[in-house]
Amino acid sequence: MTSGDGSTQEALLGAGEWTYRMTHHWAKLPDGWTMGADIAGVAVDDRDNVYAFARGAEHPMMVFDREGNFLRSWGEGGMFVRPHAVSFGADGCIYCTDDGSHTVRKFSTEGKLLLEIGIPGIPAPIYSGKPFHRCTHTALSPQGDIFVSDGYGNARIHKFSPDGRLIKSWGDFGTGKGEFNLPHNITTDPDGWVYVADRENNRVQVFDEHGRFETYWHELHRPCGMCTEAKSKPLTFIAEAGPQLYSNIGFPRIGPRVSIVDHRGELVARLGDNGLGLATNQFLAPHGIAIDSRRDIYVAELDGMGWKFYYPDQPAPSPMPSLRKLVRVPPGS
């Protein structure tokens, strides 16, 4: 296990057309600002602007251009309790999933609240299957329906109309088809498929828009975050967490890492898998992931949580590289 020293020595990840160079401190903040150690989620809009959803930070939503230049922030003043994930819909709006307030909120890119689903601060009864008990992520169908993974306290997927009316729910606790052991993330594609990161079952499950089970993808380790391309037969980029049991914490080749799979779940590339740490070919605690129009990858990490768990006796470096950018390296360059 690598202790990580914040080294900036270049190391490439992946191979062939899926070769990347990692940048730690890519985002440029205003003087005196800090990003914090825990970026729970990241999303990219159609202009390649990057939205970092920070947990426990003074500025919960920080927006940058693709070069890392700071554009704006919003959400200050206690708007969010415990940011968990963020995503964009085809409607051009941003969806913020706050598991601490048990809500999903739809905003404009400037931070204007447009829709709220759930009652802030009032969870559904635990294990009830009713929305929400610490919901985890949100995705939109091509028709604008809203899918929410309800994973901490429930094992459900909820489907809402564009105006927030509950249409149906599916899923239960377990390891079988259509059952979940912490549905932690959800994405969709233009073909109508719904992808659910069934984290503690070490798989992604695939459903149609009505919740009918189609298949599942294996050979993953604790998939936490996903980003699916907005096109037919897309690639999906998956942020996988590393081992968190004392019996396997040092095991190689089970994360933390990023995997790229095709629409059938076949592995296209794997980035990282070099042990836990802060070197430029390692991850510590990937939690969210997004891509831009060039297929550069942005990985949100819960570095504060990861560092405390893996290195409890070592002081954390400052600043922590909690939002990492992986720049795609063209073949032959």
Question: What pLDDT does 8 receive?
Answer: 43
Answer whether residue 262 is part of any domain: yes
Q: What is the pLDDT of residues 153-185, one digit of tens each?
A: 999 999 999 999 999 999 999 999 999 999 999
- Domains in the chain, number: 1
Answer whether residue 135 is part of any domain: yes
Answer whether residue 221 is part of any domain: yes
Rounded Cα–Cα distance for residues 310 and 95 (Å): 31
Answer whether residue 333 is part of any domain: no
Question: What pLDDT does 276 receive?
Answer: 85
Question: What pLDDT does 10 receive?
Answer: 65
pLDDT-wise least confident of 121-125, 243-247, 279-283, 295-299 = 243-247
Q: What is the pTM of this model?
A: 0.95
- AA letter at 257: R
Q: List beta partners, residue 156.
A: 150
Answer whether residue 132 is part of any domain: yes
Q: What is the pLDDT of residues 184-194, one digit of tens each?
A: 999 999 999 99
Contact 181, 164 (CB under 8 A): no
Answer whether residue 279 is part of any domain: yes
Identify which has the larger pLDDT, 203 or 244. 203
What is the DSSP secondary-structure string of 158-203?
EEE-TTS-EEEEE-EESSSTTEES-EEEEEE-TTS-EEEEEGGGTE
Contact 122, 81 (CB under 8 A): no
Q: Give the count of beta carbons closer than 10 Å to the beta carbon of residue 209.
A: 17
Rounded Cα–Cα distance for residues 177 and 118 (Å): 27
Answer whether residue 243 is part of any domain: yes
Contact 189, 162 (CB under 8 A): no
Is the confidence at residue 228, as pLDDT, over 90?
yes
Answer whether residue 214 is part of any domain: yes
Query: 3-state class of 154 per DSSP?
Result: coil
Q: What is the pLDDT of residues 62-87, one digit of tens each?
A: 999 999 999 999 999 999 999 999 99
- pLDDT tier, 330 (very low <50, low <70, confident <90, very high otherwise): confident
Which domain, by its residues, includes 221? Answer: 12-328
Rounded Cα–Cα distance for residues 2 and 100 (Å): 32
240 contact partners, CB below 8 Å, separation of at least 6: 220, 221, 222, 223, 224, 255, 256, 257, 258, 259, 286
Looking up residue 254, the CATH number of its domain turns out to be: 2.120.10.30
Rounded Cα–Cα distance for residues 64 and 296 (Å): 14
